[in-house]
Amino acid sequence: MAEAHQAVGFQFTVTPDGIDLHLSREVLKHIYLAGVTSWRKRAIRFKNGILTGVYPASPSSWLIVVVAIMSTMYARIDPSMGMIDSIKQTLPVSDYLTVQTQTIVSAILFATGLWLSLIFVLRYTLKVLLAYHGWIFEPHGHVSCSTRLWMRLVKMFSGRRPLLYSFQSSLPRLPVPRVSDTIKRYLESVRPLLDDEQYKQMEIVANDFKKTLAPKLQRYLVLKSWWATNYVSDWWEEYIYLRSRSPIMVNSNFYVMDLLYVTPTHRQAARAGNAVHAMLQYRRKLERGELAPLRALGVVPMCSYQMERMFNTTRIPGIETDFVQHLKDRKHLVVYHKGRFFRVGLYYGGRHLWPGELETQFQRILDDPSEPQPGELKLAALTAGERVPWARARLKYFSQGVNRASLEAIETAAFFLTLDDEAHGYDPEKLRSLDLYAKSLLHGKCYDRWFDKSFNLIAYKNGKLGLNAEHSWADAPIVGHMWEYVLATDCFHWGYTEDGHCRGDVNKDLLPPTKLQWDIPPQCQEVMESSYILAKEIADDVDFHGCLFDDFGKGLIKKCRTSPDAFIQLALQLAHFRDKGEFCLTYESSMTRMFKEGRTETVRSCTNESTAFVRAMEDPDKSNEEKLALFRRAAEKHQHMYRLAMTGSGIDRHLFCLYIVSKYLGIDSPFLKQVLSEPWRLSTSQTPQQQLNLVDYQKFPQYVSAGGGFGPVADDGYGVSYIIVGEHLVTFHISSKFSSPETDSYRFGQNIRQAMLDIRALFNVKEKKMV
């Protein structure tokens, strides 16, 4: 009962002598501290909002301009060319506004206008500079004089100590490519996949589209690009993600793994405590805009828009389309353990709970012996199944009473934490440990992750961690940025005691976690069971293989004077040809975050050059010199295509948007319909590494992440995510479906390994192995 009394700020009793009022000093103290923290947070946001709003100038520069203008006036010089006098004439004369005061006010107003004009000029100049992309097409290691000059100008106009969103107003808009360029590149991309007759037919259809429908559709698209911030991103989020009615588990969500070789503590509650506290620190920096913006080459800023919805975000199901709900200042998270849901407060006395306090709260949940309520165990399976049944069940069974309150607690939580009752992680002594770890993160038991949350933090009972992230609100590099911060903070900042507990004192007066209450009728439980059965079929069909390639890494590939990404993509083409005996349409994700609200673009990795190289590798009559020449030609082609995609000249997002316009206009295009229906039987993505440079892998080579992955995109294809870790390791995450007789993830992994070694054999270079 002590907790109940502490939760009441005041009590009163009616007596014959009147009302006897009792105040709780402890609760009033916490109310006061919470208010102070809230106002401090608002003040910091207001200050940072001003700093971002006037960037690349600073508030102090306003004072400099005012003082300069006032000084010239005292020197009887009018820099305004009469504008100050014009402003002065519009001001009324009164006892409080004398002629001298009018002059000062007029000068201040003119100086302020001049200052704002200078900010606009600086921003526009920076936007023009950032629209230049010639630097990205220059050969590696060669920087032209014009690019050097451009970099100096960008640095000069970028200001000092930018905040996270300082560059948002200076980023250029994503350009709409010319239809003729897109059609040309599309035809070039499908040429190695079609025979002469098929290609001739495709050429006719494509050219007919270019001459007839394309100009009209393009005009609407250009109009949208002028009006909207980004002509792709809103439609991409809506039509690719939110309007999809199929399960998002496996099909859309992706996962991120923990450190590969190191487990800082084997205490589940302690590891979760440090991780959650690090996430709260990251969220505070994010909300205040205090994180440094990512910049390519340390100069070119990346768009930070996607990071806004990392926390306090949930995908809400709908009948026809879902929507993303983003809130602010959420002060709790929801924890799932053995079929029970618990609400855990994240603040005490206006501050974040310390890692040790979070460990205490999580340990209380682990020690709780209560059983799940009827229907509670598999409740989260609703988020793993089809979207329409979940949307209808939400409206019918969770719109009132305790169900509404409990569901609201989940959907408004900062994020979702699962204290898993299994042990996972990479163990070289256990067969398929990485495979099982990946499958657990990707789908779990199909009812122990809330797949609609922006991300789920999963803490295993052996101290390993992982993430499962919903895809509509952001792409993998955004989640990876946060995850790097969390792992580095966990291991190198907070650490653990000798017996594995979190460091620091623990407040004994913390209110225990609150168990969420449910009243789930049998009809709703039937819907849950149907969703679970469907999700279980999907999960059981995922064939996963994790391949740690440590024969060589980025260090040796650089000695080969080629791009590591191009090297790996060509190895994937060679491996796929050996695996299936044919080439296929290949998807590689590239980012377009050099543009405002940019997300991704597709690099079509299967090219005429790559297929020529693969055929040469399989031809015993070809010499190593011929193979190497074809490899370099294919690698250069791949790099060029990647650069085109990054600079807004890709193929697929343009065609996608033209297709959406055609649907709005009710126009049927056989060409666009065929393009959008082509299956990606090899879908690939590189996980970025060291976005924050928080860990020196030369000093701490064991503190590397295994990256993350995703489910197969096509029923008869492969999904491959890879991460280039340090100088000596590449990790491949390979997924396919057991139901396809054409695919086998383990077999494909072995083909990738052999392809990497065979390509490496073309080069006469040696690598110093990591000790």
Helices and strands, counts by H and E, the chain: 24, 22
Q: Tell me, what DSSP letter sits at residue 292?
A: P
Rounded to an integer, what distance in angstroms lies between the CA atom of residue 691 and that of residue 477? Answer: 9
Residue 448 CB burial class (10 angstroms; 0-12, 13-18, ≥19)? buried
Helix (H) or strand (E) holding 576: helix 564-580
Peptide bond preceding 679 in cis form (omega within 30 of 0): no
What residues contact residue 381 under an 8 Å CB cut-off, 6+ apart? Answer: 446, 447, 528, 529, 531, 532, 535
Q: Tell me, what DSSP letter sits at residue 151?
A: H
Helix (H) or strand (E) holding 113: helix 99-130
Residues 467/259, Cβ–Cβ less than 8 Å: no
Residues 606/585, Cβ–Cβ less than 8 Å: yes
471 is catalytic: yes
Rounded to an integer, what distance in angstroms lies between the CA atom of residue 27 and that of residue 362? Answer: 23
**CA 612 centroid distance within chain:** 35
508, amino acid identity: K
Rounded to an integer, what distance in angstroms lies between the CA atom of residue 475 and that of residue 480? Answer: 9
Would strands 416-419 and 455-459 be described as parallel, antiparallel, or unpaired? parallel
Q: Tell me, what DSSP letter sits at residue 490?
A: I
DSSP codes joined into one string, 168-184: GGGSPPPPPPPHHHHHH
What residues contact residue 68 under an 8 Å CB cut-off, 6+ apart? Answer: 111
219, amino acid identity: R
Q: Which two tokens stand for residue 36?
A: 């102070």
From the list 471, 501, 545, 638, the catalytic residue is 471
Rounded to an integer, what distance in angstroms lies between the CA atom of residue 29 and that of residue 647? Answer: 55
Residues 685/708, Cβ–Cβ less than 8 Å: no
Return the closest-CA partner of residue 509 out of 613, 710, 357.
357
Cα radius of gyration rounded to whole Å, the chain: 29
Beta bridge pairs of residue 604: 587
Return the closest-CA partner of residue 454 out of 476, 421, 439, 485.
476
Sign of CA dihedral 445, 450, 453, 455: negative
Query: How would you list the strands of the sheet with 600-604, edge to edge?
Result: 542-549, 729-737, 718-725, 682-686, 586-591, 600-604
Rounded to an integer, what distance in angstroms lies between the CA atom of residue 490 and that of residue 480? Answer: 15
Q: Which two tokens stand for residue 50?
A: 């001003």
Residues 279/287, Cβ–Cβ less than 8 Å: no
Rounded to an integer, what distance in angstroms lies between the CA atom of residue 680 and that of residue 715? Answer: 10
DSSP codes joined into one string, 232-281: THHHIIIIIIIT--S--TTTT-EEEE-BSS--S-S-HHHHHHHHHHHHHH
Q: Tell me, what DSSP letter sits at residue 656?
A: H
Report, as residue numbers or ranges, the catalytic residues.
471
